[in-house]
A = this chain, B = another copy of it.
Amino acid sequence: MRVVSSIRELRAMLKEMRPKTIGFVPTMGYLHEGHLSLVEKAKEMSDVVVMSIFVNPLQFGLNEDLEKYPRDIERDCRLAEAQGVDILFFPPVEEMYPPGSKTIVSVKEITECMCGASRPGHFDGVATVVTKLFNIVQPDYAFFGMKDAQQVAVITQMVRDLNIPVEIVPCPIVREADGLALSSRNVYLSPEERKQALVLSRSLKRAQEMVECGERDATVLRTAIESVIQESPLADIDYIEIRSYPELVPLEELRGDCLIALAVRFGRTRLIDNIMLVASQEDIACSVR
């Protein structure tokens, strides 16, 4: 595995490798099995796998956890190399945002709800850095985890709107054995918070079962989710949303591709989780995507 921090060097390296297909896994580092599953998928689909590790300041709000976001580049290098990453791009902030940067990529509407409502400017930061990374790496495929379902919707929309020549490959959420969705931020949790954080996946599982049994009413489902989460005294609900996917239109009644998404705070740690369902209307059958 080659580790490179300069854009110019990375470009030169990639130029040599074309026309091999390039698979790209953008991350903020502090790698876990979720990231590694993206690498695995990238290896299946492409000749060369490029991973980036960049904690993007532009996507953090003023009172968010930019400073304390967990970092361990040595461990990340070992994990990435063991998983078969060919090139690790690890740029310093000033390489990505030299002084005088003035350009923002902004996706409207679908960034105003859910995490976009709780984190103003977050998705502008995501869209801008991902556009930059795509222009630097020029990958054939880019791999994103569905834990950030709204992020996947935003990036897919942006790629379509700006005609970026890349195929976005959404990959399934990876969970701990007990159901907790993997996240670099899980490391913030105290042992008690970690235990109570299981209400997220449990509440989604409960909603899924209800949908499988024929429930289509979003209010009923939201209430059921809420009551499961409230079993945890430490949980502070940010949002529970039931929306069409990928349009993110709020649903009163489940129909077609649906996203049930949560954001819940435990102390200062904000966790997200979601489930994608396909709700058919003909009969009450429902399958998990």
Write the residues of chain A forming the contact surface with B, with a CB cutoff of 8 angstroms.
7, 11, 98, 101-110, 127-128, 131-132, 135-136, 138, 157-158, 160-165
Contacts and interface: CB of A to CB of B under 8 A. Distances in A.
Contact of A157 (B102, B127, B138): B102
A165 B139 CA distance: 13
Given A103-B105, A103-B108, A135 B163 contact: yes
Nearest to A131: B162
A127 B104 CA distance: 10
Contacts of A101: 161
Contacts of A128: 162
Nearest to A18: B19
Nearest to A133: B163
Dominant SS among interface residues on chain A? mixed
A267 B101 CA distance: 38
A131 B107 CA distance: 14
Contacts of A109: 102
B132 A162 contact: yes
A79 to B, nearest CB: 27
A14 to B, nearest CB: 11
A172 B165 CA distance: 32
B108 A127 contact: no
A11 B163 CA distance: 11
A110 B105 contact: no
B157 A103 contact: yes
B157 A135 contact: no
Contact of A163 (B104, B106, B136): B136
A163 B7 contact: yes
Given A103-B105, A103-B107, A135 B161 contact: no
A214 B259 CA distance: 68
A157 B102 CA distance: 7
A9 to B, nearest CB: 14
A164 B164 CA distance: 11
A69 B104 CA distance: 29
Contacts of A106: 103-106
Nearest to A97: B161
**Nearest 6 A-B pairs (CB), nearest first?**
A103-B161, A135-B163, A102-B108, A101-B161, A103-B107, A132-B163
